[in-house]
Structures are given as C-alpha cells and as structure tokens.
Structure 1
C-alpha cells in the first residue's frame, strides 16, 4: 500500500525554531562516530522537518533492532483490548504444553506484565542460557530457566522476555505479529512494507528484527502521543497507552546509565523528557508529551546517549509555545538543507594508471589468515569492467559484487541494497566503505596489493551472530 503523507507544516507555524533544528543537524555532523540515516520531527501532529542522508532514503525499510519491542508491545495492547490476553495472567497459562514440565515456583508465578516490563525475575540477559537449554525453541528454553529473584522485583534487559510476549500474541491470535498488526495498526496508520525476521521455528522475533521506515516510527510515536487516537479513531485503548508509558520497574544501575536509568514501562523506556522506544546503534522513537512533539531517527552509532544529549540540548529549546513570526527565511534554509543531506563518502582516488594492470584480476586473502570482524569473508577480488571497477566479496562460496563509482556513493539494489564509496588511497591500497542500506551497518574493506591481503572492519557489528552479508536486508527480499 502507499502510505498517506503526514500532514506537513512550516516549522514556525507550529512553534518550532528552524535554527534550533539546524543546530541539531550541525551537532550530528560534528559528533564523531554518528552516521545519521533518516530524521522526522512532528509538532502538534504536523511534520515540520524530514530528511535522509544520502545514500539513505525516506522510503527504504530499516532494521530497527530493539525499537521492534515497542511495536510488539502495541500488538499486546491490541490483543488485550480484544480480550485475547490479560497482563495479570501467568505466562504458563498460554502454554499448557509446558505446565507439567515447568515446576519452578518463580516461573509459574511469572505474569505477562512481568515479561512485558522486563521484570521476569532474572538478573541478567537470558538469551544464551535459554538457547543452550533448547536451541530450537527459545520460549521453551526461557521457561526452563528459573529466575534468581521473584518476578516483578528486579529489572534485566532480556530479549527472551519480549520474545515470550510476542509468542503469546502469536498464540492467542493465531497470526504472525505482522499479519495481526496489518489491519489494526499498520494500515490505519498508513504504514506499508513493515516486515519481521522469523526464527527457525517460524515465530517473528518480537524483541528485534522489524524492518520499517523512519516514517513508520514517527507514526507510532504520534499514536502514543495522542493516547491511542489516529484521525479521530481510538485504535489503541488510552488505558493501554498510559500503562505502557509509565515506569513499572526501576532500571538504575542495570544498564549504561543516563537516560537508561529512569525506568521501564511496557516495551518503552522512560526518558529525561517523555518516553521512548529505541534500538541498537541509534534507532529512536522519542515521544515528548510536554512539547507535543515526536522525534524519529534512524542511524548508525554506538553513542546512543550522545544522540539523546544532542536532542535535549538543541531540539528541546527549539519548541516554543506558539507560532513564530518572521521566520520564513529560516524555514526555507532548513527545508533546503534537509533536501540535500549527504553522508561523507570515504576518501579515495581513481586507480593509479601505472598500477591498473596489477590491480585487474587481483585476488586477496584475509590478512593473517583470518578476519576477526567478518570470519565468513574468505576472499576479495578486484576486476576491471567497461564502466569502472568491481570489488567482489566472497563469503562461504557466495559472491557479493560491488561496483566502485567515480566518487561519492554508488548505490545498487541487487544482489542486495548497498552503497559503496572510497577508492585508492595510494598505488598499493584500495579502501572502500560498504553500507548495507536496510540496516544500521557498514563495513570498511581495505585491500593491500603488495601482500595480496585484505582486512574488513565493521563500523557497527551486526547483533545476529554469524549472519551472512547476503542476509543484511529486509526479510522476504531476494538474496
């Protein structure tokens, strides 16, 4: 389906100082280690700023990592409204096939609200331990793992807890999360193309794996800002919104500090200002009730607190209580800048003419016999084509050809969505950046002609262990 455009407005008409938004963009550009991908800002229900940094675009789905949890929580809220589940039911009530096997009193006392609020009683992430107990069924492994504390008394950021919540929704609805949400959330909000990764058993992950646009993130934030209403319809009960966005469990000391110390709701974090959904490497849905605003951002960074600090420092002061007069010039300047955002391309020059023959057909092996950051990458080759050069990464027998442009970013959709920049840094060294456009990941590959070796280094390492490069895209696409 084609998403209906969000209502748009000049920033000043909604009380937003465009120079403050530009200051935020300046700060993102200046901050080391932050690669923004897409940004949307809504104020009073109107889109006042939207842009994507080339080679990324607004219409491309993006791996949201743990921001997926907020969509899973929304699915649970919709199922609760339909009478299909209750937060105060024991988790085991939904999986009677395990009732005789699971005898630990803490697991038997674990309620749905406990897994929804990351308060299962476990004191640390259980993913590896649950998988060890049952490699084929994460839910079964999780239910076999006794909590160290009583449920509801301690916070631990815990992927199998959300997986369990998602499994309950899929059990009681008889549908995948995506199919259940399509007529109830995605279609009413005008969200198209949202797709979820599944595990080997066929369940959508829930805790991660959702690919959706930054626009979809903004629409979810606006739904919560408006207490579950969208275009005059109450899509999500107001009571669920209130319950999901209040602190259920203290988080201080359990995470990395800063905005992660302020409590957890039902698949939403509390923030210094408002509440948020977020995902690894800089995926954000910031809901600011006091400012009547939503900020949606996709990016690639390990400095997530830095991003939040920049929002608080630059965007919050840009929100004013009423319309701003005489700001047409600032609004136009911001609009122009947002239309031409670009990530810096990797430095590089065309191949030195005197070494072109040496580079043509050259094959490179991993430096030192192995590549720690990408162990599946077994060789790299460089070939001359009529229209330039092709760098081919080979992994487990699968070849990924990448065209090198003449400067800037060379974007390709097949065999998977990528953008490549870089070139020769000297006669014997080729260095390229490979952005996997439907994820927050990019890879730096450097080939050395004298030794016929290469290195490969992630800017942000994929969180799915052993995922092959060809799978770094939205599920359901060709590969």
Structure 2
C-alpha cells in the first residue's frame, strides 16, 4: 500500500520538477537574446576567428580583451569570454555608465518629470554658492547631456568631498554653456542628482522597472556618493549581454519586442551629433573626434557608441543592423576599436552566407578555449619553504600594508595582508586562476571617491603566481568584475624583502616599491 502511494507521488514530484525546469528555461529564454550563427547573419566565422587572432596578437602590448559579443539582426552570432572572465560576471562599465544615465533622462523627459531646458540651479536651491554667475544660472540639462557645461576644467575634487552637488556648483563656469565641449564626468553625476530630485528615486531604482526589467537586465549595481546618489558618470556594473541589449534598444529606435521603451525622438537626439568634440578639421582616423550626442559618442562609419575607460564599448552600427560589445583592459582604446573596423565591420554582407561547417567548428573551438595565460614557467623555488608561514612587517608605504604573510600549500599560495585596520586573504595558483571573493576594494580610476563602493557585495577575484627566478616571486590578482588587476613582485634578497606593486588602473603603469622593516 505504501509503495502504491509512493510511485504516484514520486511521479508527481518529477512532473512538477520538469515544469519548474521548463519555467526556468523559459525565463532564461525570455531574458536572453536569440542566438544564431555568423554565416546565417551575413558574417563569416573566419572573420570572427581573424578578429580573435588579431586581439590576442596585441595582448602583451596594449590590449587585453575580456569579452566580446557580436549581434546582428537582433541575434547573437558570436560571443566569447577570456577565462577567468565569464558570461555570468558583471564588468565595471566606467563611462559606459553615462549612456545608461542618459537613457534614464530620456525616460524622465517622456514622463514629463523634467525638461531639457530646466535650469540646473532650479533643482538645488539649498546648494548654491553665495553668488550665482550668469553662466551658472544659464546652465541646463541639455548642456550637461552634451558635455558643454562651460567649466574650464572638470571639478574632479568633487569626488573627495562630502557634498558633491555643492562642490560642482561652486566651480566657475567660464564659458557660455552649450558652446564648448569638455568631457565632464562630474556633469554626468549632476544628471543623476537631478533625476533623483525630480523622481524621488535613485537612478538605478528608477531604471529597474523602466529599462532593466523589460530588457531582462538582472543583478546590476551602481556606486553611490556620500549623499546616497548613484554617481552617474561611472560606477555601473552589468554583464556583457546587458551592454548588447542597451545597444540593440537604441539600434531599434527605442523599441523592445514590439514594446516602446524610449521615444524615437529621444534616440535620434541622443545618438546624433549635438556638439563637436574638436575645434578645426576632424581627424577621420580618430574615433574621439567625430562629435558627441547625449552621453553617446559619435564614431566612424556613421555609427555611435557608449564608451568607458580601459576599452568598454557598445558600438552600434545602424548601416549594418549590428551591435558589437567589448570589455577589456586596454591602454590603447583607439587600437582596440580599430580591431572592429579592420576585421568585423567590412566583413558584414547584406545577405546570409553559405554554411561553412569547418570554419564554424573552428570558431566554436576557439571560443570555448579563450583564456588569459597563466605563468607556469617556474612553480617553485628553494626560498619557498624558508618564507612560507613567516610574517613580514613592512615600512610605511602608499598602500598602507603593514604586515604580509605567504603560505604555500601544494600549487596554492595564500597571501594574508593587513591593510589599514583590516586583514584580507587571497589565494593564488601556480598552474591556473584561483578564484575567490574579498571585501578589499580593488584598483580603480575612481578609488579615491568618497563612499563609492559602499553597500556593494564582495568582489570576485582570481589569482596566479610564478617564480620569476629563485628569489623573485610575482603574484597577479585580477578583480574579475572590473577591467583592473594588480601585481605584487617580491624580491627575497638580504638584508630585507622588497615589494614592487603595480596596478592596471594607472595608465602610466607607475610602480610603488617598499621594503621590510
């Protein structure tokens, strides 16, 4: 009797489990862009392979791609992540964040929450300087959007203050707003502050039901300032496919699956030239000299893009009905975008190509094997057993690291460091990337900003180590939800251990060096 009841119950459980799995798969399908093959969408697999080859050939010089995605006719036809970066990870957008901020302004304009002609000072009467200059009084939302605030320099000191709004408004406005282009992330922050004033919601919360949920963008987060305002000009973290979705929304003139998200009027204004970015004759080979829209750059080949430091790109190609997304750690961003112009853009064809099974198989093989190299040339040293487990106390240094311990266990090196008043532990592998999480803030162009990363979850990291010689150990720590990494090189030479530190957020790769006490 018990068995006769058990089997129907077991069958019901299996049926319900199957329903849950189908529902989850349907949710995934609803949130993901449809997939296709390169040839079906008019691009050869061979062209994508050549793009990958070219990107990997310049890795050691100036460009390190972390991911790419090619979308055409609304379908993903090629995508790849270089391990330890992977599909499910967010990536710091830096200034691609501005394009999302602009989108929020477009939505608020459509809802009648604000107008492009609204004066900036009207939103912050409590934060105004004692004397409001005529040019400051004239500054409006439109001027912020197109980077024509009129300040002689960006007030970067804003990031280190407790009141960013007051600091921004106190900066002199030297030129008539709307007349002179000056890239100004502080102005983009003011757009976020204005949106929050006009709607009563933080930028990320305002976007959630209006943009993120309709497009299936999940788990986004955004840095804040000390006043609890999303920083707007940087600080957003989303996934590679989320970037592609925003590009596709603009390519489709604001429509998403027959539902209008943005007005076509807004899309046209945001992605067309609102102001010139250079004076005099434009350089046709410079993608930063083609003009600027509303927090979108104009770019060559009648295209436009979202653009972030170290090579985060959403490149929208209306003439090709395509979107190309790149995440990277690139010191030469022009060289990075040139890879697209050379290998992908000219390879698009108007109609589908004949199937090429061999090329497609080779492409799939390349995509599945993408990974950043680990250093495995020397995995051990006679010094290893001498230093393992010993705590080193260090002299005063810019990183404020007072103590550090290395412990070796098989292929793994554990580094425990005391920085300021906190202690952190990281794991490095000699033959692969050892992944983990940390509360320690990683290297960033905006690391000195007040508040900044407050409230964000632990940061995902991956570590690799190598003995460069018998007395020199290098540890590479990647913050794999950002473009950035840092390196510690230990020299175990008497009379004291010395450490050389470098981080990829420094465009000039300046190095710090300090020694043991």
Normalised to the residue count of structure 1, the TM-score between the two structures is: 0.90
TM-aligned CA deviation for residue 364 of structure 1:
4.2
The one of 404, 425, 442 equivalent to 1:401 is 425
SS in 1 for 2:474: strand
SS in 1 for 2:207: helix
Distance, in Å, in 2 between the alignment partners of 1:253 and 1:308 is 23
- In structure 2, the residue matched to 1:147 is 173
Normalised to the residue count of structure 2, the TM-score between the two structures is: 0.84
Question: Residues 18 and 318 of structure 1 are in contact (CA less than 8 Å); yes or no, is this contact kept in structure 2?
Answer: no
- In structure 1, the residue matched to 2:293 is 265
Residues 1:302 and 2:331 are matched in the alignment = yes
The one of 473, 497, 500 equivalent to 1:452 is 497
- In structure 2, the residue matched to 1:439 is 482
The one of 119, 140, 145 equivalent to 1:111 is 140
The one of 109, 112, 115 equivalent to 1:86 is 115
TM-aligned CA deviation for residue 54 of structure 1:
0.2
- In structure 1, the residue matched to 2:206 is 180
Residues 1:12 and 2:39 are matched in the alignment = yes
Distance, in Å, in 2 between the alignment partners of 1:316 and 1:105 is 46
Distance, in Å, in 1 between the alignment partners of 2:211 and 2:399 is 40
Residues 1:33 and 2:62 are matched in the alignment = yes
Distance, in Å, in 1 between the alignment partners of 2:413 and 2:153 is 48
Residues 1:167 and 2:196 are matched in the alignment = no
Distance, in Å, in 2 between the alignment partners of 1:437 and 1:125 is 29
Q: Which of 403-412 and 413-422 deviates more?
A: 413-422
TM-aligned CA deviation for residue 197 of structure 1:
0.5
- In structure 2, the residue matched to 1:473 is none
The one of 251, 262, 279 equivalent to 1:225 is 251
SS in 2 for 1:258: coil
Q: Which of 187-196 and 3-12 deviates more?
A: 3-12
- In structure 2, the residue matched to 1:356 is 384
SS in 2 for 1:259: coil
1:420-467 C-alpha deviation (Å, 9 max, x unpaired)? 11221222111121101111111111111223221111133399xxxx
Distance, in Å, in 2 between the alignment partners of 1:77 and 1:462 is 33
TM-aligned CA deviation for residue 201 of structure 1:
1.2
- How many matched pairs? 455
Distance, in Å, in 1 between the alignment partners of 2:400 and 2:218 is 34
Gaps (5+ residues) in structure 1?
A: 464-479
The one of 184, 189, 199 equivalent to 1:158 is 184
SS in 1 for 2:287: helix
Distance, in Å, in 1 between the alignment partners of 2:364 and 2:409 is 39
SS in 2 for 1:449: strand
Give the number of the structure with larger relative contact order, counting CA–CA contacts within 8 Å between residues 6 or more apart: 1
Distance, in Å, in 2 between the alignment partners of 1:363 and 1:332 is 51
The one of 383, 389, 401 equivalent to 2:413 is 389
SS in 2 for 1:221: helix
Question: Residues 382 and 392 of structure 1 are in contact (CA less than 8 Å); yes or no, is this contact kept in structure 2?
Answer: yes
TM-aligned CA deviation for residue 105 of structure 1:
0.3
Q: How is 1:287-366 mapped onto 2 (pairs within 5 angstroms)?
A: 287-352=316-381, 354-364=382-392
Distance, in Å, in 1 between the alignment partners of 2:110 and 2:352 is 38
Distance, in Å, in 2 between the alignment partners of 1:313 and 1:188 is 34
- In structure 2, the residue matched to 1:419 is 462
CA 182–131 in structure 1, closer or farther in 2 if over 3 Å, else same? closer
TM-aligned CA deviation for residue 61 of structure 1:
1.0
Question: Residues 375 and 430 of structure 2 are in contact (CA less than 8 Å); yes or no, is this contact kept in structure 1?
Answer: no
Question: Residues 128 and 170 of structure 2 are in contact (CA less than 8 Å); yes or no, is this contact kept in structure 1?
Answer: no
Distance, in Å, in 2 between the alignment partners of 1:442 and 1:9 is 34
Question: Residues 364 and 454 of structure 1 are in contact (CA less than 8 Å); yes or no, is this contact kept in structure 2?
Answer: no
SS in 2 for 1:413: strand
CA 364–426 in structure 1, closer or farther in 2 if over 3 Å, else same? farther
CA 393–33 in structure 1, closer or farther in 2 if over 3 Å, else same? farther
TM-aligned CA deviation for residue 249 of structure 1:
1.1
Distance, in Å, in 1 between the alignment partners of 2:196 and 2:507 is 26
Distance, in Å, in 2 between the alignment partners of 1:425 and 1:281 is 27
Question: Residues 102 and 144 of structure 1 are in contact (CA less than 8 Å); yes or no, is this contact kept in structure 2?
Answer: no
Larger Rg: 2
TM-aligned CA deviation for residue 222 of structure 1:
0.3
Gaps (5+ residues) in structure 2?
A: 1-26, 440-458, 509-517
Distance, in Å, in 2 between the alignment partners of 1:64 and 1:217 is 9
Distance, in Å, in 2 between the alignment partners of 1:409 and 1:215 is 24
SS in 2 for 1:198: coil
SS in 1 for 2:288: helix
Residues 1:50 and 2:79 are matched in the alignment = yes
Q: Which of 417-426 and 268-277 deviates more?
A: 417-426
Distance, in Å, in 1 between the alignment partners of 2:77 and 2:386 is 52
Question: Residues 222 and 237 of structure 2 are in contact (CA less than 8 Å); yes or no, is this contact kept in structure 1?
Answer: yes
TM-aligned CA deviation for residue 94 of structure 1:
2.1
Question: Residues 363 and 452 of structure 1 are in contact (CA less than 8 Å); yes or no, is this contact kept in structure 2?
Answer: no
Q: Which of 341-350 and 189-198 deviates more?
A: 341-350
1:129-155 C-alpha deviation (Å, 9 max, x unpaired)? x468xx221111111222111001100
SS in 2 for 1:211: strand
SS in 1 for 2:362: helix
